[in-house]
A and B are shown apart, each in its own frame.
Chain A
Amino acid sequence: MRGRLTNVVVAGLGGQGVLKASDILADVALRAGFDVKKSEIKGMSQRGGSVTSDVRFGQTVLSPMVSPGEADYLLVLEPTQVEPHKHYLKPNGKLITPDAVDVGKLPNKKTLNVALLGALSAHLPLPEAGWLEALREAFRPEFFEHNQQAFLSGRASQSPGK
C-alpha cells in the first residue's frame, strides 16, 4: 500500500484568508519533500459565502479532494462554519477552531488564519523552520512580523500530545 496521507480541510467565509492558509500549509509540505495536492472551490467568494480548501500530503496523492469522514484535521476560521463541514472529520480527527487561540491577544485580527495554522502545525510532521520560511514568502515584509507572532502563539497553544 501507499504511505499514509495527511488530510486537512480548511473552512471559513470569503475574505477570511482560507486560501492563504491552505497555500502556506501546502507550501510547507512541498518543502518537506512530500507529494502535495490542494483543491478549492472559490466560486463567488468575495460575497462572503463559504470557502473550503482541501490539502492532502504524503508519499503519493491521487484525488485532490478530501472525502467526507477522512479528514485528519478540520481547521475552521469562523464558528458558524463548523456545522457545515464537520462531516469531513474522521471519527477521531481533530477540530481546530478560533477557540484554540486567544483571539484578543493576536497582534492583528487578520492573522487569525495564521494563528490557527500555528495550532495545526503542532500536530503535523513538518519542521518549524519550513513553516517560518513559507510564512516569510507568503507575506510582504511589513506583515511578516505579525504573522510570525500569530503563528508562534498558535503553535504554543497546543500542549504536546494534545
Chain B
Amino acid sequence: MPSAKRQLLSGNEAIALAARDAGVALGTGYPGTPSTEILERFSELGGRGQWSPNEKVALEVAIGAAFAGARAIVTMKHVGLNVAADPLFTAAYTGVSGGLIVISADDPGMASSQNEQDNRRYAVAAGVPMLEPSDSQEAYDFLFAAFEISERWKLPVILRATTRVCHSYTIVQPRGPNGAPKPPRFERDIRGRVMIPAYARPAHKRLRQKLTEIEEWNETGSMNPVIKGDKKLGIITSGISFMHAREAAPKASVLKLGFTYPLPMKKIAAFAQGVDRCVVIEEGDPYLVDAIRAAGIAVEGKAEMYRFGELDVPRVRRILDHDLSPEPAKPPGKAPQLCDGCQYRLVFEALRKRDCIVAGDIGCYTLGVLKPFEAMDSCVCMGASLGVGLGLRHVLPPEQARRVVSVIGDSTFVHSGISGLVEMIYNPPTEGHVLIILDNATTAMTGHQEHPGTGRKLDHQPTNKLVLEDLARSLGVKRVHVVEPRVGSNEFERTLDECLASRELCVIIARRPCILIVKRLRELEQSECEKKEAPCAAG
C-alpha cells in the first residue's frame, strides 16, 4: 500500500489524501486561498474533483451526492461559506444519507483575503457539528472522524481549518484506503428532504435532538484530549493555537478541543475546576471563551488586541503575561504587483487617464488599486462590482454617473457577476452603464484554475464552454464588444470612449490570456489537436 508511507504533507494535501482513502465519491468546490489545493490534489490522486461556478452550487451538488448515499466533500475559503450559507442552514434540517463534509478554510491575518471572519460562528448558527484540526495528521484523521459523525447522525459536518494548518507541512501516517463505501442508491424521503413549513418544523426539532445527543457523545469522545501538566496554569485551546500554546507554556495543563461544536461543557468545567488559573487561547473571535463563560465557567480570555491577525508563540506568551504593550511592527515585505507584461496594465492606465469611477472586484486585477494606477474605487466581495457600480450610477449626478465603470474578472463574473448583469438589464440606470469583463481565460489569483468560461474542467480536460459575449447578448445587452488589450493598439481605449459616451448598457470583454498560462494553453491545445488527428497549427 504505497499511501501508507509516512510523509510530509500540507494540511490540504492530508485532507485530499484522507478523502481519497475514505472513498469520497465526489469532491466539489470553488477556488479560494487557503483551500484551493484540496480538490486539485484529490483529483491528482484519482478522485473525482470538480470546480463549480461558485460555492453555493458546489455545496448543492455535494448535498445531492450525499442524498444519494455517497460520501462527498465540498471545499471553500471562509468567505465562500457566506455564498453557500443558504443551502448549509437548511441541509442541517434535511440531513444527509451519505457523509457530507464542508471544508471551510479560514484566513486569520488575511494572508490573502478581504476579511478575517471566523467561521466557527457558522457551526453554531446553522447547527452543524464542527471539527478543528491542529496539524496535517489531524487534518487526515479528522476527515475520517467527520464522516463517522456525519453518517451516524445523518448531518453535514464542518471541518474548519486555517491558513497555518492548510499550508503547513507536518508528518502524516496515512491509514491507506479504508474499505469500499456502500454503493449510492436513491431512497425516497419526502418528509425528510422537502422543506415545506409542515415538514421543516419537525425537522428543526430533529436537528436540535441530534445536537443534544452529539454533545453528550462528545463529552467522552477521544477528540478533546487533556495533556496533564502543572496545576497552576490550565489552557483551553483548539486548532493551530494548540501548537503555539504548548510551545509558549510547555509545563501547563492543556485541554485541546478538536471537536468544537457542540462543545463538551462538562469536560471543560471539570478541567477549569482542576487548575488554579484557566486561560482560553484561541485565534480570531472570542468563540470558545464566550461559550464557556455563558455556561457559567470562569475562564480568562485574551485582550481585544489579540483578536486581530494570527496568533504565534510570542503572542501567546504575551496573552499569558497580560502584556498589553504595543507589539513590534513587522517590517513591510515587497507588495505583489501586476506582472510586467500583464494585459490588465493597459486597462487600468486607460481608466486612470479618464478619471473613471471604478467599482472593482476581486482577483489579480484588484492590484489595479495600487500605484501607479490607483484605478479602483471599491472592492467588497466577489461579484459586487456590478451592483455597486449600478447603485453609484443610479444616484450620482449625471456628469459623475457617466464616469462609473464596473470591472470584473472572468472567473468572478461567472461566480456571481451574472445576476448583477441581469440586474443591469432589469433596472438600467438613466445614464446607461459600462461593464468591463477582464477575460484572461483563467482564475489567476488563486493559482490559475479553470472555470466554466475556459471550457475546461478542473483537470484541464475540455468540456462545454460558457461564451460570455453570447450570454450578455442573450440577456439583451445591445452593445457587446470583444477587444484585445495589447500594446500598440488603441482598440480598447476607442471602445471604452464610445461606450462611455453612448449612455447605453455596454459590456466590453477585454480578452487576452494571462501571460503565465500561455505556455500551458499552447500545450493543451497541441495535445488535443493531436488526439483529433487534425492538422495542428505550428508551435
Residue ranges of A at the interface with B (Cβ–Cβ < 8 Å): 1-2, 13-14, 23, 26-27, 30, 35-50, 52, 61-65, 67-68, 80-81, 83-85, 87
Contact = CB atoms under 8 A, between A and B. Distances in A.
User: Chain B interface residue count: which class?
Assistant: 35 or more
Contact of B313 (A26, A38, A63): A63
Contacts of B516: 46
Interface stretch (B160-168, B183-191, B275-283, B393-401): B160-168
A30 B8 CA distance: 8
Interface in B228-280: 240, 243-244, 246-247, 250
Given A37-B169, A63-B313, A64-B240, 17 more contacts: A38-B8, A38-B168, A40-B167, A42-B167, A43-B33, A44-B112, A44-B364, A49-B333, A49-B334, A63-B243, A64-B135, A64-B168, A65-B164, A65-B313, A80-B334, A81-B334, A84-B332
Contacts of A13: 334
B337 interface: yes
B312 A67 contact: yes
A67 B327 CA distance: 13
Interface of B: 8, 33, 111-112, 135, 163-164, 167-171, 240, 243-244, 246-247, 250, 312-314, 328, 331-339, 364, 367, 444-445, 447, 516
Nearest to B6: A30
Nearest to B10: A38
Nearest to A39: B168
Nearest to B165: A64
Among all A-B residue pairs, the 3 with the closest Cβ atoms:
A50-B333, A49-B336, A47-B336
Nearest to A34: B171
A44 B445 contact: yes
Nearest to A23: B169
Contacts of B164: 39, 64-65
10 contacts: A38-B169, A47-B338, A49-B337, A50-B334, A63-B240, A63-B313, A65-B312, A65-B313, A67-B313, A87-B331
B170 A43 contact: no
A49 B447 CA distance: 14
A43 B336 contact: yes
Given A30-B8, A41-B167, A65-B313, A14 B333 contact: no
B339 A47 contact: yes
Given A39-B169, A41-B111, A47 B247 contact: no
B499 to A, nearest CB: 29
B13 to A, nearest CB: 12
A81 B332 CA distance: 10
Contacts of B328: 68, 87
B336 A45 contact: yes
Contacts of A26: 8, 169
B162 to A, nearest CB: 12
A43 B168 contact: no
A14 B367 CA distance: 16
Which residue, of A42, A47, A63, has the highest number of chain B Cβ atoms within 10 A? A63
A1 to B, nearest CB: 8
A81 B111 CA distance: 18
B330 to A, nearest CB: 8
A8 B483 CA distance: 48
A49 B335 contact: yes
A7 to B, nearest CB: 11
A63 B312 CA distance: 8
